[in-house]
Amino acid sequence: MAAVFERIAIIGAGLIGASIALAARESGAAGSVSIFDADPDVRRRVREMDLGGVRDAAADAAREADLVVLAVPVGAMAAAMAAAAPGLKAGAIVTDVGSVKRAVIDAVRPSLPLDAFFIPGHPIAGTERSGPEAGFATLFQNRWHILTPLSDQGDAYAAAADRLAQFWRALGANVERMDAERHDVVLAVTSHLPHLIAFNIVAMAEDLESVTESEVVKYSASGFRDFTRIAASDPTMWRDVFLNNRDAVLEVLGRFSEDLAALQRAIRWGEGEALYALFDRARRMRREVIEAGQDTDAPNFGRDS
Amino acid sequence: MAAVFERIAIIGAGLIGASIALAARESGAAGSVSIFDADPDVRRRVREMDLGGVRDAAADAAREADLVVLAVPVGAMAAAMAAAAPGLKAGAIVTDVGSVKRAVIDAVRPSLPLDAFFIPGHPIAGTERSGPEAGFATLFQNRWHILTPLSDQGDAYAAAADRLAQFWRALGANVERMDAERHDVVLAVTSHLPHLIAFNIVAMAEDLESVTESEVVKYSASGFRDFTRIAASDPTMWRDVFLNNRDAVLEVLGRFSEDLAALQRAIRWGEGEALYALFDRARRMRREVIEAGQDTDAPNFGRDS
């Protein structure tokens, strides 16, 4: 494939940043890749992994890049943009991979050069692992990539957004566009709340006096183990998500708690029909997720076969 | 292997009942298997599947059996025992596979013949599928099987419990014993609460006005999809679990809600350090689950590779 971008820079070499580097190289979507990470130890490891040209300053990595990808936790976006900005060439495209979009736009804009195009993005892809060693080239294959372009930006901006979409498609993703506020509400439901609940139940189980941690671990195959996977995700990333998508998360969490209270009441009063109706309804959603190609159809995710 | 039981009867041919039939045959743990299911359509399907000798009455299936396994939802245990009892031979062993133990003991005892041995049990194994077609012979391999023998039952009962443990080991399971009340508290944490939460979040997402169901499905790979798997489990089985383990479930649910409220408050007040500490702690549990052999170490359960 002809490169979509001659040179790309990746700021932040975690699971996502490393996967972009690998996918861009394997697909040929980028002519060359330069990488910066704020952690010297990560830079050292990335040098050994040979993911691209590692630089010791964000501005050096960004220099001459046609596309700069900010792949740091949401709370570190402002600093990453400020550090990369001095190296940006005129007309460079800047994007990010943050799980929250409105807060990232607000964080990036103050230090964004006027002659650069900022097109926020979010790959709906990942695993519970962190760090560059967790990256792999096929992470974005057949996953959605959401772009939330800024409004009223003119033709050059629209062309830049199209080119960025082309880059993500070259990495195997399906590209969708929506506005930042809508993204933050949708992801609060599909991602932020599920993670919050998983973190909560796992931490709660650890704290129980009535049941030991080893009992929880031993019998976790009865349901609990699924939650431990999500709860193993990077704590810094998730702290930043909740601090930066507060309103949408609190809104959907309020709804969750309200429904859970109703369920609690149905159990207390032995309302079997209400419980059955709710459980039966929940079942249908699984079928839709599988039909949409968003999960495997194998029982137990295929892990026990 | 020499058969542990010459003849076994399985009452209820769902995922678990069918898996026992298949595993018993494959391992040679049973000389022969007879099967009854209250649903004529299920009996017809099981006949076609050739899982064992299908009978049209529970008592007929139980006749001459050395072991009778009640593999029906917890709420149907009393009726299953009552239906099988007239066929039971003296000295027969009766067990069950219910996810709740105290309520099953209370349900089974009234119609249990005095010359039979009832040893309650619960295999910590399953998938989100239901019905005989979902069964497979390796379901119990390397999974825990909990027996909750009744207390003060004498030597013959103890020998029967040992023999039942030997049967489950022959099916590949690791056998553990605990008392029924403890089982119900431990499983409320590791299984019943996780399922309740999964049912709740999936039903809630379906009801939202702010986000469409198709958006939830489309972006479910960001976390939500994991919950849909658990929420696809059999609604009758789960209704019965919650109706029959009410006190333990309400207790642990109260604790979950309390902790969730604290987490909600931390988000509202922007308490980043508290969030980080909790998320970081939850991570460790995943490692323990994997080290205990209770889940795969592959990222995303290996399903995206």
Taking only the tens place, the pLDDT of each residue in B140-163 is: 999 999 999 999 899 999 999 999
What pLDDT is recorded for position B260?
A: 97
Protein fold of A181-270: 6-phosphogluconate dehydrogenase C-terminal fold (1.10.3660)
| Candidate from B124, B201, B279 with C-beta closest to A256 | B201
Q: Provide mean pLDDT across the span B25-49.
A: 97
Does position B305 have pLDDT exceeding 70, yes or no? no
CATH code matching the domain that covers B181-297, chosen among 3.90.228.20, 3.40.50.300, 3.90.230.10, 1.10.3660.10: 1.10.3660.10
Question: Which B positions 67-106 lie with beta carbon below 8 A of chain A?
Answer: 75, 99
In A, minimum Cα distance to B230 occurs at: A223
Residue extents of the structural domains in chain A: 5-178, 181-270
Chain A interface mutation, best of B184, B195, B216, B295, highest count of A Cβ atoms under 10 Å:
B295
From chain A, pick out residues whose CB is under 8 angstroms from the CB of B124. 219, 221-222
Residue A216 and residue B47: Cα distance in Å, rounded? Answer: 39
Residue type, A295: D
Residue A305 has pLDDT above 60, yes or no: no
With beta carbons under 8 A apart, name residues in chain A contacting B249: 267
pLDDT of res. A38: 98
Can you give the pLDDT at residue B50? 87
Instruction: Give residues 43 to 72 of A whose Cβ lies within 8 Å of B.
Output: none
Nearest-Cα distance to chain B for A143, in Å, is 8
Structure tokens at A276: 């059955």
CA–CA min distance B42, chain A (Å): 20
**pLDDT, average across residues B190-211:** 94
pLDDT, mean over chain A: 96
User: How does residue A2 score in pLDDT terms, banded at 50, 70 and 90?
Assistant: confident
Residue A125: pLDDT over 70: yes
Mean pLDDT of A182-196: 97
User: Of the CATH numbers 3.40.50.720, 3.40.50.150, 3.40.50.2300, 3.30.465.10, which one belongs to the domain with range A5-178?
Assistant: 3.40.50.720
- Tell me: pLDDT of A291 over 80: yes
| DSSP secondary structure letters along B51-68 | -SEE-SSHHHHHTT-SEE
Residues 6+ apart with CB under 8 A from A50: none
What does the DSSP assignment read for A222-279? GTHHHHHHHTTS-HHHHHHHHHHSHHHHHHHHHHHHHHHHHHHHHHHTT-HHHHHHHH
Summarize the confidence of residues A171-181 as an average pLDDT.
97
Top residue of A130, A246, A279, A290 to mutate, by most chain B CBs within 10 Å, is: A279
Question: For A195, phi and psi rounded to 5 degrees?
Answer: -65, -40
- For residue B25, give how far its alpha carbon lies from the nearest alpha carbon of chain A (Å): 19
- For range B75-104, the mean pLDDT: 98
Contact: B191, A219; criterion CB under 8 Å: yes
Instruction: Return the pLDDT at B194.
Output: 97
> Model's pTM, two decimal places?
0.95
Q: Evaluate if residue A1 carries a pLDDT over 80.
A: no
Chain A, nearest residue to B300 by Cα = A127
**What is the pLDDT, as a whole number, of residue B152?**
87
Count how many pairs of residues, chain A against chain B, have C-beta atoms within 8 Å: 354
Q: How far is CA B182 from CA A87, A94, A206, A211, B101, in A?
A: 63, 57, 17, 9, 9
The backbone torsions φ and ψ at residue B158, rounded to the nearest 5 degrees and listed phi first, read -60, -40
Taking residues A270-299, what's their average pLDDT?
A: 93
Which residues from A are below 8 Å from B198, CB to CB?
223, 282
Mean pLDDT calculated for residue range B197-205: 96
Partner residue opposite B235 with nearest CB, options A186, A190, A280:
A280
Mean pLDDT over A88-107 rounds to 98
What the block records as the tokens of B218 is 């489309």
Tens of pLDDT, residue by residue over B239-275, are 999 999 999 999 999 999 999 999 999 999 999 999 9
Interface of A with B in 145-164 (CB under 8 A): 146
Do A181-270 and A5-178 fall under one CATH topology? no
Q: Confirm or reject contact between A209 and chain B (CB < 8 A).
A: no
